[in-house]
Amino acid sequence: MSKTITQKIFEKHLIEGNFEPGKEIAVRIDQTLTQDATGTMAYLQFEAMGTARVKTELSVSYVDHNTIQIGFENADDHQYLKSIADKYGILFSQAGNGICHQVHLERFGKPGKTLLGSDSHTPTAGGLGMIGIGAGGLDVALAMAGEPFYLTCPRVIRINLNGALKPWVSAKDVILKVLEIFGTSSNVGCVIEYDGDGVKTLSVPERATITNMGTECGITTSVFPSDEITREFLKAQGREGDWVEIASDKGAEYDRVIDIMLDDLVPMVACPHNPGNVKTVKELEGMVVNQICIGSCTNSSYKDLMIVAEMLKVNKKHPNVSLVISPGSRQVLSNIAINGALADLLDAGARITEPVCGFCIGNSQSPQTNAVSVRTSNRNFFARSGTKDAQVYLLSPESAAAAAITGKMTDPRHLGIEYPQLQMPERFYTDDSMIILPSLVSSEIYRGPNIGEPPHNTPTPDCIQGVVTIKVGDKITTDHIIPAGSRMKYRSNIPEYSKFVFEIEDEGFANRATAYRDSGKHNIIVAGIGYGQGSSREHAAICPMFLGVKAILAKSFERIHAANLINFGIIPLTFASDDDYEQINAGDEVIIADVRKLLTENIPLTVKINDKEIAVNYSLSERQRQILLAGGMLGVVTSKLAHLDISS
Ligand code: MIC
Ligand code: SF4
């Protein structure tokens, strides 16, 4: 039988179930990655499992998100992570070594392997022909403890990339086109597999730009074949030995096949406040721009920065704009320092940051009031930049550099300059001295005052009785639920971080929810379509759990967030009829009776709102219902792992 790349890799890793789209399967995870903002919670949970050392082929702990270090909190977290890595057999990539996805691509990714990461952009690794999946920290902790990862077996969509990109059009424009076709919701449970003759014209980092932003479509992951281009990339990293060929079989069947003619693409831009609001750059040409940010895990590779440097070599930045450049990794930064491009960027007036997430997560470089900020990153959700009324546009490095030169939104094809011809190095300068190998001897774990306990939930009650504490609309992202940016330093301190739940939607939410919880009432959230888009941060489940949220009633949920809700004992319910959403208001009294009995028997629940009964659905496997009954995964896991005695 002819197989897709996705099926081939999944089948090699199957532990439970068969490759039947729509059914729950369990897969073996070869590699894990964590980043510091989700990592502390993941490792606190890993510690609670009592495993002596990680059971994966490779686990890497990166520090790239919380590197601002105003106050002791970030530095304390870094020390905690370092000591955990040392004790449990994890590689530790220190702050300053680069953004997890870029470094993983350069130094660790291997075609054909599975990678689970506590960051939603883990699918970046699909550019190397591996299956990279984003998940909550608890799921990653379980994978490190040797447990399989459970997911819904995906449907596979094939996108044929045909022809070749024209000058000034690049990988970002390809994925923005894909986002225009797919949108950002209703794609749960799919993998996009890229093929076609145009694939051969794209380097691994270009492929990774495309797989990185597949996340914004809400799909499980994206994957490219592993071919001669992949081998060339690995060779330039001194890792040719990690190469294997991976291709789909002739005649493999796909759920859907889409053709994109690369020659027809033009520079594109995603407009505020969603990566799916795609237009052409030409349509916005002339709009005054205040800030340009180039970098993030989407577009911060050597080639991205070299193109920008070449464009800025002869044209300095416009005096009215702030130009920020964040290299993706220390390797990228070193290579552009060695070849002189860094000096060109500095000469042009760019502000160079250390290789971290920084501006992308609103952790620095927040733009001015009412600013127009154009960025090469992957998310432009409301307020994510740290400035509530900023308008953030997402585009390619070429289009971003064009705006930096003119001070206006500019189609780079209209600049009147030649498209830079770049020679890629046959061998990158590499230096892994900021990746610390574990000693496995130390048992001392550093815990500063910022490190709290992983919170446990209570088992799901028989009757959920409380209040609709908030009613929100469609496409509520995890950035709406629990902000990052300046609040992110509380990631390891749940009571403190919980004070900011829904801060940008409704400042009174946390106090109201706390008061209801303390008076013995449960909190219920009502939402529209695509609830929980965006990040994998399980804090968007843990903090509401801490505030006493027991159920969320939505038109639909995004994959990672739904899994996180279940892991922390919050029931994700969907309306049987979406019209009922209109019947509910914030403040309404809610009763959901016989919850334990009905969940056990897999029977739909009924929600009584004031005096009206509303039918709701859930689609949960036996395993997920058991987790919910127990009030979350941590309790289940600690007892199960203790029973299995996997600590040796
Ligand atoms: C993001 O891009 O939103 C983040 C910050 O990388 C998150 C993870 C987090 O919230 O820590 C993600 O995408 O998963
Ligand atoms: Fe970091 Fe931004 Fe990438 Fe998230 S999307 S991992 S914040 S660079």
CA 364 to ligand 2 centroid distance, Å: 13
Question: Which residue carries 């919880």 as its tokens?
Answer: 517
Distance CA 518, CA 514 (A): 6
Decide whether any atom of ligand 2 lies within 6 Å of the 297 Cβ: yes
Decide whether any atom of ligand 2 lies within 6 Å of the 357 Cβ: yes
Decide whether any atom of ligand 2 lies within 6 Å of the 41 Cβ: no
Protein residue closest via CA to atom 2 of ligand 2: 360
* 100 contacts 119 by C-beta, under 8 angstroms: yes
Task: From the CA of 121, give the closest atom in ligand 1.
Answer: 13
Backbone φ, ψ for residue 62 (5° rounding): -105, 150
Query: Which of 38, 481, 559 maximizes ligand 1 atoms within 8 Å of its Cβ, making it the mutation to test the pocket?
Result: 38
**Tokens representing residue 593 in the block:** 């009776």
CA 600 to ligand 2 centroid distance, Å: 39
Task: From the CA of 360, give the closest atom in ligand 1.
Answer: 2
Read out DSSP for 48-105? HTT-SS--SSEEEEE--SS---SSSHHHHHHHHHHHHHHHHT-EEE-TTSB-HHHHHH
Q: What domains sit in the chain, N to C, each tagged with a CATH number? A: 5-264 (3.30.499.10), 270-411 (3.30.499.10), 464-641 (3.20.19.10)
Read out DSSP for 148-190? PEEEEPPEEEEEEEES-PPTT--HHHHHHHHHHHH-SSS-TTE
Look up residue 277 and give its DSSP letter: -
pLDDT per position as a tens digit, 256-302 = 999 999 999 999 999 999 999 999 999 999 999 999 999 999 999 99
Protein residue closest via CA to atom 12 of ligand 1: 535
CA 419 to ligand 2 centroid distance, Å: 28
* 26 contacts 154 by C-beta, under 8 angstroms: no
Pick from 231, 410, 412, 433: nearest CA to 331: 433
Q: Report the DSSP beta bridge partners of residue 16.
A: 26
CA 119 to ligand 2 centroid distance, Å: 8
CB-based contacts of 22, cutoff 8 Å, min separation 6 = 152, 153, 155, 189
CA 309 to ligand 2 centroid distance, Å: 22
Query: Which of 211, 357, 535 maximizes ligand 2 atoms within 8 Å of its Cβ, making it the mutation to test the pocket?
Result: 357
Protein residue closest via CA to atom 3 of ligand 2: 297
Backbone φ, ψ for residue 73 (5° rounding): -60, -50
CA 441 to ligand 2 centroid distance, Å: 33
Decide whether any atom of ligand 2 lies within 6 Å of the 361 Cβ: yes
Q: Are strands 464-471 and 372-375 parallel, antiparallel or unpaired?
A: unpaired
Q: What's this model's pTM, rounded to 2 decimal places? A: 0.96
Cα diameter, the chain: 71
Query: Which of 121, 216, 301, 533 maximizes ligand 2 atoms within 8 Å of its Cβ, making it the mutation to test the pocket?
Result: 121
Give the ligand whose atoms come closest to the C-alpha of residue 124: 2
Provide the residue count of the chain: 648
Decide whether any atom of ligand 2 lies within 6 Å of the 377 Cβ: yes
pLDDT, position 646 = 35
323, 352, 404, 553 from 320: Cα distances, Å: 10, 17, 9, 47
CA 209 to ligand 2 centroid distance, Å: 12
Give the ligand whose atoms come closest to the C-alpha of residue 329: 2
Residues lower than pLDDT 50 in the chain:
642-648
Decide whether any atom of ligand 2 lies within 6 Å of the 360 Cβ: yes
CA 566 to ligand 2 centroid distance, Å: 24
Task: From the CA of 295, give the closest atom in ligand 2.
Answer: 8
Residues with CB under 6 A from ligand 1: 37-38, 65, 119-121, 134, 361, 379, 484, 534-537
